[in-house]
Structure 1
Amino acid sequence: MTNGSWDLYRLFFVVAEAGSVNRAAAMLGMSQPTLSRRIGDLERSLGAPLFFRTPSGVRLTQEGEELFSSASAVHATFQSFQREFRGRMAARSSLLKISATEGLTRHWLIPRVPQLRRRFPGLSIHVDASVQQQSLAESDLDFVIRIGDPGELDLVGRRVGEVGFGIFAGASYLARRQPPASLRDLCDHDLVGGAVGASGFKSLRANESAFQRVWEGAVAAAGTRVHPRAAQHAAVAEGLGLSFLATPFAEAEGLIRVLPNEGIFVDLWLLRRRESDLRPLTRAVGRYLEQELAASQAWLAGRPEGTPPVTAVAAGR
């Protein structure tokens, strides 16, 4: 079989069923001369005539009859395959797979799931809340919302804002300890965190790098190591000490910021694979996510004028 021969057999089948090259060309959306030339290519490839040309159309030769009989079974099988495959494609195309950190998932993404379902009827949503950077290709993800380094170079997307980070304590801790007055006081406090602390963030400003160095030095001597960061929230809420946390998520959980003028702002990215743009629903959901992230910028950065995400969803934006 020569290259492109499957398409030639498909064209043959349409002409045979239509009984006319002109009618078949109209059905296929191609010109009559082009279709005649393609049928001629198939006849030369097989070394046999397939049609008698008549004033009223075409009629199958004996070889054409035999080919049509065989092609009918193949054509029916292919049509059945197409219907089945379209059904499977429709199921995947109505599924949104998205990965975000646990804090983003809990405090920003989950509150928007009802709104997503209302705006996009039939949409199914799979959320992977993980502190690890998920691979879009290996996990077949549609979107990843990342804080900090955007990671994979083959992803497309945009910076959609920034997330503020600061030092937080629980009410019970501050009930028995005076809050630190400066970064130098951190060494006199119980700190909750890990050896990485604020590391891993890219493109820090000079004052942010200085803050990072102080925090890293203080937390290196801390007596409590807790991973992942979501567990640090729980540890701080229990009054175990101070921790370096994302401002919007810590405040949403009722934690109290100390040293409010000290902290870091980290880029927030909405990323996807270019191939995902072939799914119309994914493109539409992507626009919705971009709009919602843009509307949430003040809240994500931890600025006072920020609007909590639940309010934004309730307002039906």
Structure 2
Amino acid sequence: MTKPHLVWDDFRLVKIIAEARGLAPAADRLGVNHSTVFRRLGQLEEGLGIKLFERHRTGYVLTPAGEEMTALAETMEEKVETFARKLDGQAVAPAGELRITTNDTLLVHLLTPIFSRFIDANPEMRLDVVLANQALNLSKRDADVAIRATDNPPETLVGRRVATIAWAIYGRAADFPEPADFDLTSLYDRPWVMLGDNLATLKAARFVRDRVAPERIVYKVNTVLGLAEAVEAGAGIGPLPCFIADRKPHLVRLSEINPDFSAGLWLLTHPDLRQSARVRAFMDFIGAEISKQKRAIEGGAKPD
């Protein structure tokens, strides 16, 4: 009996059809037409002498043999990605594209001018910035470097903590014209703003939820950017990162820095990439630039 001749494209074809659950969406992903995928799958199943998919009204469902091929395809893909990372880690010059993930708050209020200075200093580099509040999978190269506010960076990544982001309670300066040391308990009867349910696990959000009566929480928003805008507009008082609020002349700090709100600011990458020339150049540059603003980030002075 002749052994079937299998190549990587066969495994990839089965994996993509399984993920797409049909030939037409698989064809779109592969950039070919429907009939090409139909023909290739038919030839593959005929050559193997076994069905790889059951055809149902709801889509294509893997048979046990198809499940084995898909599992092998995923393993092969992971090995290729690991090899690519290792090759990338051996790059000798800071050149090429680097994909960075961070959140909108850090990008708008801290990182954009730093990124611009990095590009000026490294003209052979290009940055692809991906905004995401959730952690991207650096193992699958969703990004090369993550810049995150967290107290618990993933154990699968390596990097360093470059600052501690300080928070305090802020209000609109027009509503508090006389500077004073406020007793927080005297502020609980005022209108408050807080982060939305998607960020309910953040320490600042828990603080408001645990101490302020629900009827006094008049405004919730699912981004820190929106929270700062709401406080500045006079919707209510609320907790904000100092490096954002302290640069807004219309806001005033109503409390001491609350260490219970703080979070670490981390530069993170995958272990296979830490020796990459462009990753090292980027992380060293960003770390040095952030250190210049560390006092402001930690609530001690207005940012530059």
Q: TM-score, normalised by structure 2?
A: 0.60
Give the counterpart letter for 2:225 in structure 1: A
Q: Which has the larger radius of gyration?
A: 1
Offset, 1:186 = 2.5
Is 1:218 aligned to 2:212, yes or no?
yes
Q: Select the structure that is richer in helix.
A: 1
Give the one of 246, 256, 260 matched to 1:261.
256
Is 1:193 aligned to 2:188, yes or no?
no
Is 1:229 aligned to 2:224, yes or no?
yes
Give the counterpart letter for 2:101 in structure 1: S
**Could you say what secondary structure the match of 1:189 adopts?**
coil
Q: In the alignment, which residue of structure 2 is the partner of 1:13?
A: none
Offset, 1:122 = 2.3
Give the one of 169, 172, 177 matched to 1:170.
172
Partners of 2:173 and 2:157 in 1: CA distance: 42
Offset, 1:280 = 1.3
Gaps of 5+ in 2: 1-86
Give the counterpart letter for 2:282 in structure 1: V
Q: In the alignment, which residue of structure 2 is the partner of 1:182?
A: 183
In the superposition, relative to structure 1, how do residues 216 and 302 fare at CA in structure 2: closer, same or farther (>3 Å)?
Answer: same
Offset, 1:163 = 0.8
Offset, 1:151 = 3.2
Give the counterpart letter for 1:128 in structure 2: V
Give the counterpart letter for 1:260 in structure 2: S
Q: Is the Cα–Cα contact under 8 Å of residues 218 and 235 in structure 2 kept in the other structure?
A: no
**What do residues 181-214 of structure 1 show as CA deviations (whole Å, max 9, x unaligned)?**
211022211101136678435xxxxxx9xx9647
Q: Is the Cα–Cα contact under 8 Å of residues 104 and 249 in structure 1 kept in the other structure?
A: no
Matched ranges for 1:239-254 at <5 A: 239-254=234-249
In the superposition, relative to structure 1, how do residues 178 and 297 fare at CA in structure 2: closer, same or farther (>3 Å)?
Answer: closer
Q: Is the Cα–Cα contact under 8 Å of residues 195 and 219 in structure 1 kept in the other structure?
A: no
Partners of 1:228 and 1:288 in 2: CA distance: 28
Q: In the alignment, which residue of structure 1 is the partner of 2:273?
A: 276
**Could you say what secondary structure the match of 2:108 adopts?**
helix
**Could you say what secondary structure the match of 1:254 adopts?**
coil
Q: TM-score, normalised by structure 1?
A: 0.57
Offset, 1:148 = 2.3
In the superposition, relative to structure 1, how do residues 200 and 291 fare at CA in structure 2: closer, same or farther (>3 Å)?
Answer: same
How many corresponding residue pairs? 211
**Could you say what secondary structure the match of 1:188 adopts?**
coil
Matched ranges for 1:56-75 at <5 A: none
